[in-house]
Amino acid sequence: FGIETELRRAIEQGALRLTYQPICDLASGRVVAFESLARWTSESGHEHSPNDFIPVAEESGLIVPLGRWALDEAAKTLRAWDVRAGGGCGVKFAVNLSAIQLHRDDIAPAVESALMAHRLAGSRFTLELTESALVADPQRVADTMHALKQLGTTLAMDDFGTGYSNLAYLQKLPIDVLKIDRSFVTGMLADRDKIAIVRAILSLAQALGLDTTAEGIETNELSQTLTALGCTFGQGYVYAKPLEADAAYDFLMSAN
């Protein structure tokens, strides 16, 4: 329970922060969004990886207060950027929602509160869900997704292709974007199977009228190939790593 107790305290004390990674429109090269990614540096200076503390938060239920904090913090920051840019910074923020939040929290009202508290239109948020969120209680998740769409948000399927082989949900659920998992993108130029999977996802998305975001783009060559293949958006170290809020704002101002 050591890390769980420490995490509970960190959430209560506001010791977590969000970093922001740009997402670019591949055709124009413009930054269109930032994904918010939680970071936690403990008092001793230890940098906890979200790959460790997000699962702890999910198992303990702390993902509910953590997730609500992340929604409010992202909305607060986006509003501040709008003001700083003199009336609209022109990008969306993408916020991760865990499967547990969708089942244990009333997430659509929580999103609406964050938007209203910071006077943002719903269209300024993309919500990233994983396929694992769809499994346990499909009706509840469908209702929640429709409620999120009513708010004007964009819905993205994160880590697409890694979680759940039943593609019927693409027909039934109001999904706007498929995020092609980094495991397919990394090394795809030298791997026939990976490039076949990426092409298949792009062709499926195009046929269904969905946008696509390729994750984990680390080289210009990958960026160019994915652009040529018709992928809509790109994210990865070739553009920028997740950045602290001020650095992300500066990145946006110098990029666009």
Which residues bind to ligand G, rule: CB under 6 A? 21, 37-38, 49-51, 54, 70, 96, 98, 158-159, 182, 215-218, 235-237, 242
- The entry of ligand G, Na ion, Mn ion, none that residue 50 binds, CB within 5 to 8 Å by partner kind: ligand G
Contact assessment for residue 140 and residue 101, using Cβ atoms and an 8 Å cutoff: no
Least distance (Å) from Na ion to the CB of residue 177? 11
3-state secondary structure of 36: strand
Least distance (Å) from Mn ion to the CB of residue 64? 21
Least distance (Å) from Mn ion to the CB of residue 120? 24
Which residues bind to Na ion, rule: CB under 5 A? 96, 128, 158
Least distance (Å) from Mn ion to the CB of residue 43? 30
Report the b/e string of 183-222 with b at 16+ CB within 10 A. Answer: ebbbebeeeeebbebbeebbebbeeeebbbbbbbbeeeeb
- The entry of Na ion, Mn ion, ligand G, none that residue 154 binds, CB within 5 to 8 Å by partner kind: none
Q: State which residue, 104 or 182, has the beta carbon closest to Na ion.
A: 182
Least distance (Å) from Mn ion to the CB of residue 182? 6
Q: State which residue, 85 or 182, has the beta carbon closest to ligand G.
A: 182
Q: State which residue, 50 or 61, has the beta carbon closest to Na ion.
A: 50
Closest-by-Cβ residue to ligand G is: 236
Q: State which residue, 54 or 231, has the beta carbon closest to ligand G.
A: 54
CA distances from 197 to 1, 28, 192 (A): 41, 25, 9
Beta strands in the chain, from DSSP E residues, in sequence order: 16-25, 31-41, 47-48, 92-96, 125-130, 154-160, 177-180, 211-214, 233-235, 243-244
Name the one residue in this structure whose structure tokens are 């553009």.
Answer: 239
Which residues bind to Mn ion, rule: CB under 5 A? 158-159
Q: State which residue, 52 or 172, has the beta carbon closest to ligand G.
A: 52
Contact assessment for residue 78 and residue 118, using Cβ atoms and an 8 Å cutoff: yes
Rounded CA separation 239/201 (Å): 22
